[in-house]
Structure 1
């Protein structure tokens, strides 16, 4: 097994165990992270995002597979099932992740999933009607960014 494949597996095994510290340790300090909800995280922000999500989630389950990697890049398919706190609705999100590596750590992490499918599950009728729109996507991104900013500020005070 390639060492970067083992790194991805370590990351997702830690995710399954809600071990955000191990997840954070898999990331390079110059990390760039992107997904439809958190499109432009840099450095420690991504690790703190996982910490926020994991410490707030009571019923998150993660599965992963199809892990592939070489010296430069890698990929993985993973699924998350959880209750979306904003509505109490169950979400089953199917994600494809792509990675770049630097100094034996993840330097780029891009998660791709259907925002429409996610918002339809998380928001119900609102998501089904508006999930295709940039308006709803931008609104969700702003709310997520505000939540992460508040989490980071609160954490800094402690």
Structure 2
């Protein structure tokens, strides 16, 4: 198991690129937290399940990443996912900034940030273009995403 944040980040994103949700999940501490603009805040169990669903559903996922910085506790990663959004069949290229805080060789806090409006324009088309900046659409998409992992 990797120990330093840079190694943990590399292992995580290599597993993501290989759609290996089991390895991704094993890199989270049991008390870990995850957050992103679509799913919101998740605990470790929910994050593991989310990755399992996303990796399992992906048919054309392409992931690339760059470790931008790493120290004794944190890795900052720029990563890109290219895929077809299953609900609309639209192509998406999502550019994400991640911060992974690690303890004892595991991720304890993982926060992904990206432009929800840019993502929604690609994934949803015209509704995303017109409404992707609104809290209404973001809440609707988030509720649907959370529902897909049993968080209704």
Q: Name the TM-score class by shorter chain.
A: over 0.9
| More helix by percentage | 1
**Partners of 1:8 and 1:67 within 8 A in 2:** no
RMSD: 1.2
Query: TM-score, normalised to structure 2's length?
Result: 0.94
Compute the displacement of 1:100 (Å): 1.0
Tell me, what secondary structure is at the counterpart of 1:40? strand
Q: Output aligned runs, 1:119-138, within 5 Å.
A: 119-138=120-139
How many residue pairs align between the two structures?
149
Q: 2:22 maps to what in 1? A: 21
TM-aligned CA deviation for residue 22 of structure 1: 0.6
1:8 to partner: Cα distance: 0.4
- Structure 1 residue runs without a partner (length 5+): 151-158
User: Structure 1 CA distance, aligned partners of 2:119 and 2:14?
Assistant: 23
Mapped to 1, the partners of 2:77 and 2:41 lie a distance apart of 20
> How far has the Cα of 1:110 moved from its partner?
0.3
| TM-score, normalising length: structure 1 | 0.91
Alpha carbons 1:64, 1:76 under 8 Å: kept: yes
Uncovered stretches (5+) of structure 2, i.e. residues with no partner? none
Matching residue of 2:12: 11
